[in-house]
């Protein structure tokens, strides 16, 4: 018997890498429910959930409690994931999927997020004054805004050339983008995400996760840029090598893939 697209759909609250909630699958509708509305339901669930998180974040942000900076974090997190899907829908609808929310990034992402929540909660209980360093949280918020804006600018500039997954095969429409923010950095979307992820922990005044996030995301983007640049050199050859000489990655102490001539 053919299964409808919503059969077995489940919903879990988990949370990927620099910190957030991941929607997975719970039974929501009987298997006979189908059609355009049913196919849009998983998208609507995730969008509504992120909107709910954003609303809760706003309420916490204006509360007179030691959790108000966690509200900033919730707003930043939900906006990031919602806008990832939205910009992909506008820029590159052919690659659009539920994964475009980036809510199911990886197990490591989930563990990192949960760790940051646990650290914030424990330190808020036993060392509440640490969570009320407003100037530090404000600095983190500036990092988050900078990273978010840079990443979305990179996505808009790249247009249909942007994809959340490193491509191993060159499409007919794939071109090398070197203008806009790509004239500043070779990997502006990674630079934006790098500072955004660290900024979330500065917002929370999480010293342990702040350091561990910085080390982890640095290592992740070091490997990711090398993997991507191997494909880009294969796609564009000397054109990319010249661009590589001219423009830095934008990530601290990361040079990209080494090419021996």
Residue 47 vs residues 82, 106, 181: alpha-carbon distances, Å: 7, 20, 28
pLDDT tens-digit series, residues 37-62: 777 899 999 999 999 999 999 999 99
What's the pLDDT at 16?
41
What's the pLDDT at 27?
43
What's the pLDDT at 29?
47
- What is the rounded distance in angstroms from the CA atom of residue 124 to the CA atom of residue 176? 47
What's the pLDDT at 144?
99
What totals of helices (H) and strands (E) does the chain contain, helices first? 7, 2
Higher pLDDT, 245 or 24: 245
For residue 91, what pLDDT band results from cuts at 50, 70 and 90?
very high
Position 194 pLDDT exceeds 80: yes
- What is the rounded distance in angstroms from the CA atom of residue 115 to the CA atom of residue 97? 28
pLDDT tens-digit series, residues 118-158: 999 999 999 999 999 999 999 999 999 999 999 999 999 99
Give the N- to C-terminal CA distance of the chain in Å, as an integer. 57
Residue 64 per-residue DSSP state: S
In this prediction, residues 91-120 reach a mean pLDDT of: 93
Can you list the domains of the chain with their CATH numbers?
Answer: 13-246 (1.20.120.1630)
Across the chain, mean pLDDT equals: 88
CA nearest neighbour of 200 among 77, 64, 43, 81: 77
8 Å CB contact between 76 and 54 = no
What's the pLDDT at 35?
65
In this prediction, residues 222-238 reach a mean pLDDT of: 97
Residues 6+ apart with CB under 8 A from 169: none
pLDDT tens-digit series, residues 62-88: 998 999 999 999 999 999 999 999 999
Helix (H) or strand (E) holding 161: none
In this prediction, residues 80-108 reach a mean pLDDT of: 94
Report the half-sphere exposure of 80 (CA within 13 A, side-chain side).
31
Residue 235, class by beta-carbon neighbours within 10 Å (0-12 exposed, 13-18 middle, 19+ buried)? middle
8 Å CB contact between 49 and 39 = no
8 Å CB contact between 84 and 100 = yes
What percent of the chain is modeled with pLDDT above 90?
A: 77
- What is the rounded distance in angstroms from the CA atom of residue 16 to the CA atom of residue 224? 17
């Amino acid at each position: 018997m053919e299964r409808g697209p919503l059969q077995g759909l489940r919903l879990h609250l988990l949370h990927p890498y620099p910190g957030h909630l991941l929607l997975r699958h719970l039974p929501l509708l009987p298997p006979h429910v189908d059609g355009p509305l049913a196919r849009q339901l998983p998208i609507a669930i995730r969008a509504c959930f992120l909107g709910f998180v954003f609303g809760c974040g706003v309420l916490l942000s204006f509360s007179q409690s030691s959790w108000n900076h966690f509200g900033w974090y919730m707003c930043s997190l939900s906006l990031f994931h919602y806008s990832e899907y939205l910009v992909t829908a506008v820029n590159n609808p052919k690659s659009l999927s539920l994964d475009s929310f980036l809510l199911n990034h990886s197990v490591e992402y989930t563990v990192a997020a949960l760790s940051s929540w646990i650290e914030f909660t424990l330190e808020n209980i036993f060392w509440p004054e640490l969570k009320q360093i407003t100037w530090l949280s404000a600095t983190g918020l500036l990092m988050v805004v900078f990273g978010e804006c840079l990443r979305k600018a990179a996505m808009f500039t790249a247009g249909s050339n942007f994809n959340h997954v490193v491509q191993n095969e060159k499409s007919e429409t794939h071109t090398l983008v070197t203008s806009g923010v790509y004239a500043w950095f070779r990997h502006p979307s990674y630079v934006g995400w790098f500072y955004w992820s660290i900024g979330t922990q500065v917002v929370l005044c999480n010293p342990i996760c702040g350091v561990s996030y910085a080390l982890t995301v640095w290592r992740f983007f070091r490997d990711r840029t090398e993997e991507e640049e191997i494909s880009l050199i294969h796609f564009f050859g000397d054109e990319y090598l010249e661009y590589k000489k001219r423009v830095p990655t934008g990530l601290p102490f990361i040079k990209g893939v080494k090419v021996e001539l």
